[in-house]
Each structure stands twice: as C-alpha cells, then as structure tokens.
C-alpha cells in the first residue's frame, strides 16, 4: 500500500478507522539520510541569509553579547537538509536544553499515558505518595498546563537571586531534594484556575512520568526505554537530584540531531516507525493554547502555551501571533539562552537551534522564515 493510498483511505473511511493509525513516513534509523550537499548547491543565497543572521558573532566570549549560535539542524521530509556548528560544537556534543526539557517532560508523560501507566485526570499523589493535602489536589493535567497554583518565582540570573525559586532549587537550598522544595511552596491560586510559567511544574511532571514509567522499565531505564531509545536519541542525558528526581524543567542534554528526532516525533503526530509513541490527539492537545493560558496569562507572556510547548497562535493577551512571518501552525520547545526545537507541520520541517545568547538573543520571528526559505 502506498503512502497516498493510506492517506486517501484514512480520509474516506466512514468510521475513521485509520485515523488513529500512524501514517507511513520516512523513518529515522540510527543513520540519518543527509542532503546537506544538495541544499548547499541549490540554496546558496538562502543559506547565506540564514547564516548572516544566525552565525555572525558580534562580540567576544567575555562580552557575551549578541546572537551566539552553537548549532543548527534543519530536517525536511525526514532528511537532514542543513546542518552547521560553531564555537567549538559538533554533531556529537550534547547541548544543554534549559527549558526545552519541559517539552521533553511533557512527551514522557504522553508516553506513560499511551502505555496505560498514567491518566491525566489523576492526582499527582497517585504517583508521588506522602504529599500534603494541598499538593494532592493537583492533577497531572493541571501540571502539564502550568496551572498547579504553586507560588513559584521564575526568575533567572538577571534578577535578585534571593527571590528566584529556580536558582534556589538548582544551586541552593532546594538542590538535594527538589520535590520537597517545590511542594513546600505556598499556593497562589486553586489548581487549574491560573496559568503561570514554572520550572517547578515541569520538574514535578517529570517525577510523575518517572514514577509511572519506572513501573514498567525501572528507575534507571524509564526515559530511555520509554522514549529516547525508541527515537534513536543516543546522546541524551537527563540530570537528577540526589534523591533521583529528574531535572525535567531544565537539565536535558542532547545533540542537535537528537533534538531534531524529538521534534520529528511531534511532526509525525507522535508516531515513530509506524508505531504510536504518544496517544492519539496528544500532539494536537499539546499544540493548542491551554484554557488556563487563554483565561489568565498576563501581559508579560505573549506567546501562547499548550502542554509545555509554545505556539504561533493569536491567542495570547497581545491578540496577534508571536512569530509574525512564520506559519500559523509553527510551534516550538524553547529554552533559556536560545535553545529551540521548532516544528512546522505545513512545511514538513523541524528546525533545531542551540545557542548561548546571554543578552537579547535570536528572534524566532526572524529565524523561522529564514530557515524555511532554506527548506523550501
């Protein structure tokens, strides 16, 4: 059966019986088809424009100014069509994700749901026992939508350290037992009622996913057997605290090619090599602005949020899409200092960019159109 006939059958099926099936697509084995040479020959002007923007250093390491791209990979139709590294990086070196890890934790939760090990409507105490009554009111669904109500202060290195919940958790009083540190924070709202971006929520979500997947795969293999090995992501690290709570909001390390595989899973609607890794509808839900975001996101957050993914939708307080010249269906995992895994279904493209932007940083609104021009 050809690809086209499968798509046609799915569209014509009165019961939609094939809708839940995975559509055949290019599958990425350990080796990855590369067409970078062909792209270099055919897209000289487009590549020059992309590199002038993304790879032109304007400062020194001491200054840490401007756009500082470490790596970029563009996938189209399952093939690498562009790949470049700078500043000492290469295809084998795992790069810190920062908050791209949140999207990974979201996916790990989806893997557990697909395997019947977790339900979104469950209290998180189904997976994390011995918590307070207030903590047990929080569901997995509320966590994945950034609406737990935990009073978390998501400040980084440019703010006063003493009020940053993140810095206290990663490097200060919370680092040995992140889960206890998070759950002893007061609430600012009833769970499910208000949206607030928070590394705490992704960290707890990763702990929930670990508890669920560990039942099947064990505590050492949970993320690898459940997801990373399935996708052929061979260079992935997920750091933990001393008690084994994964740093699922910040500390995934992977090569740009591995991040591209992760994006490709979403591009293919949660399927890999013909098998469903994420539940049917998971990617659609992940890439729809969440109700708490629509109802309560403040003016300071203009990019709509789904299930720990960022969306090019006009659903935020600004009432206009954040990446103006990019397709409406583009969405991205986004990390501090300029880490991006962008998925553009309408172009059949995944764009990965790793970087070290310490001040203003690269603009996705500019980067996506430049990368899509290379992929066109």
Partner 1 sequence: MKRALLVMVLFAAGCASRETDPQTYDNNDVELAVGNAARMSCSCLFVMKMPSDFCAAWVKASPNVAKFNIDIEKKVVEATALIDWGARAHYVDDRRGCILE
CB of 155 to partner 1, least distance (A): 9
HEC secondary structure over the chain: CCHHHHHHHHHHCCCCCCCCCCCCCCCCCCCCCECHHHHHHHCHHHHHHHHHHHCCCCCCCCCCCCCCEEEEEEEECCEEEEEEECCCCCCCCCEECCCHHHHHHHHHHHHHHHCCCCCCCCEHHHCCCCCCHHHHCCEHHHHHCCCCCECCCCCCCCCCHHHCHHHHHHHCCCCCCHHHHHHCCCECCCCCCCCCCCHHHHHHHHHHHHHHHHHHHCCCCHHHHHHHHHHCCCCCEECECCCCCECCCCCEEECHHHHHHHHHHHHCCCEECCEECCCCCHHHHHCCCCHHHHHHCCCCCCCCECCCCEECCCCCCCCCCCCCCCCCCCEEEEECCCEEEEEEHHHCEEEEEEECCCCCCCCHHHHHHHHHHHHC
For position 132 contacting partner 1 by CB under 8 A, the verdict is no
236 scored as a contact of partner 1 (CB under 8 A): yes
Q: Which is nearer to partner 1, 217 or 323 (CB)?
A: 217
Residue from 20, 163, 284, 318 binding partner 1 (CB under 8 A): 163
Please report whether residue 239 would count as binding partner 1 according to CB under 8 A: yes
To the nearest whole angstrom, how small is the minimum distance from the Cβ of residue 305 to partner 1?
23
Measured from the CB atom, is 53 or 253 closer to partner 1? 253
> Distance between CA atoms of 226 and 122, rounded to whole angstroms?
20
| 96 scored as a contact of partner 1 (CB under 8 A) | yes
Region of 98 (left: φ > 0; alpha: ψ -120 to 50; beta: rest) is left
Q: Check residue 53 for interaction with partner 1 (CB under 8 A).
A: no
* Residues 321-360: x where in contact with partner 1 by CB under 8 A, - otherwise, as a string: -----------------------------------x----
Task: Select from 14, 29, 41, 88 the one that contacts partner 1 (CB under 8 A).
Answer: 88
Is residue 108 near partner 1 by the rule CB under 8 A? no
Q: Establish if 238 lies at the interface with partner 1 (CB under 8 A).
A: yes
Residue 157 sits in the site that holds partner 1 (CB under 8 A): yes
> Quick one: 176 or 275, whose CB is closer to partner 1?
176
CB of 57 to partner 1, least distance (A): 14
Query: CB of residue 50 vs partner 1: minimum separation in angstroms?
Result: 24
Judged by CB under 8 A, the stretch of 167-175, 271-279, 344-352, 366-374 that binds partner 1 is 167-175
CA 159 – CA 99 distance, rounded (Å): 18
Which of 308, 115, 100 has the alpha carbon at shortest distance from 225? Answer: 115
Please identify, among the stretches 140-148, 168-176, 275-283, 290-298, the one whose residues bind partner 1 according to the rule CB under 8 A: 168-176
Shortest Cβ 246–partner 1 spacing (Å)? 9
Specify the stretch interacting with partner 1 by CB under 8 A; choose among 72-80, 209-217, 236-244, 266-274: 236-244
Integer Rg of the chain from CA: 20
Q: Does 167 bind partner 1 (CB under 8 A)?
A: yes
Residue 211 interacting with partner 1 (CB under 8 A): no
Residue 162, C-beta contacts closer than 8 angstroms, at least 6 positions apart: none
Cβ distance to partner 1 smaller for residue 79 or 239: 239
Site for partner 1 in 270-329 (CB under 8 A): none
The correct pick among 43, 76, 84, 95 for binding partner 1 (CB under 8 A) is 95
Residue placing its CB nearer to partner 1 in the complex, 96 or 278: 96
64 contact partners, CB below 8 Å, separation of at least 6: 356, 358, 359
Instruction: Indicate which single residue of 21, 115, 180, 224 sits in contact with partner 1 (rule: CB under 8 A).
Output: 224
Which residues contribute to the site for partner 1 (CB under 8 A)? 61-62, 88, 92-96, 151, 153, 157, 161-165, 167-168, 170-176, 185-186, 220, 224, 236-242, 251, 253, 356
């Amino acid at each position: 059966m050809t690809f086209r006939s499968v798509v046609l059958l799915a569209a014509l099926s009165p019961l939609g019986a094939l809708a839940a099936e995975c559509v055949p697509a290019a599958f990425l084995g350990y080796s990855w088809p590369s067409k970078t040479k062909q792209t270099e020959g055919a897209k000289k002007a487009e590549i020059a424009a992309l590199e002038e923007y993304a790879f032109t250093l304007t400062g020194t390491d001491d200054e840490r100014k401007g756009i500082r791209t470490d790596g970029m990979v563009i996938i189209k139709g399952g093939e690498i069509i562009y790949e470049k590294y700078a500043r000492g990086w290469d295809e084998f070196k795992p790069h810190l994700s920062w908050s791209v890890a949140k999207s990974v934790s979201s996916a790990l939760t989806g893997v557990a749901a697909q395997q019947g090990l977790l339900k979104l409507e469950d209290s998180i105490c189904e997976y994390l026992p011995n918590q307070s009554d207030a903590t047990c009111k929080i569901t997995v669904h509320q966590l994945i939508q950034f609406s737990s109500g935990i009073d978390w202060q998501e400040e980084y290195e440019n703010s006063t350290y003493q009020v940053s919940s993140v810095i206290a958790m990663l490097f200060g009083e919370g680092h040995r037992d992140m889960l206890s540190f998070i759950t002893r924070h007061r609430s600012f709202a009833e769970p499910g009622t208000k949206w607030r971006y928070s590394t705490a929520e992704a960290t707890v979500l990763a702990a929930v996913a670990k508890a669920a997947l560990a039942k099947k795969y064990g505590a050492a293999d949970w993320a690898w057997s459940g997801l990373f090995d399935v996708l052929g992501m061979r260079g992935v690290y997920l750091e933990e605290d001393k008690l084994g709570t994964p740093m699922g909001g910040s500390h995934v390390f992977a090569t740009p090619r591995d991040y591209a595989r992760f994006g490709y899973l979403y591009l293919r609607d949660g399927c890999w090599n013909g098998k469903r890794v994420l539940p049917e509808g998971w990617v659609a839900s992940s890439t729809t602005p969440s109700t708490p975001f629509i109802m309560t996101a403040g003016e300071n957050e203009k990019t709509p949020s789904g299930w720990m993914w960022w969306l090019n939708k006009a659903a935020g307080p600004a009432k206009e899409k954040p990446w103006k010249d990019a397709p409406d269906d583009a969405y991205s995992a986004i990390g501090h200092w300029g880490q991006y895994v962008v998925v553009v279904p309408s172009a059949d493209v995944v764009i990965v960019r790793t970087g070290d932007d310490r001040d203003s940083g690269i603009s996705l609104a500019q980067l996506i159109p430049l990368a899509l021009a290379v992929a066109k």
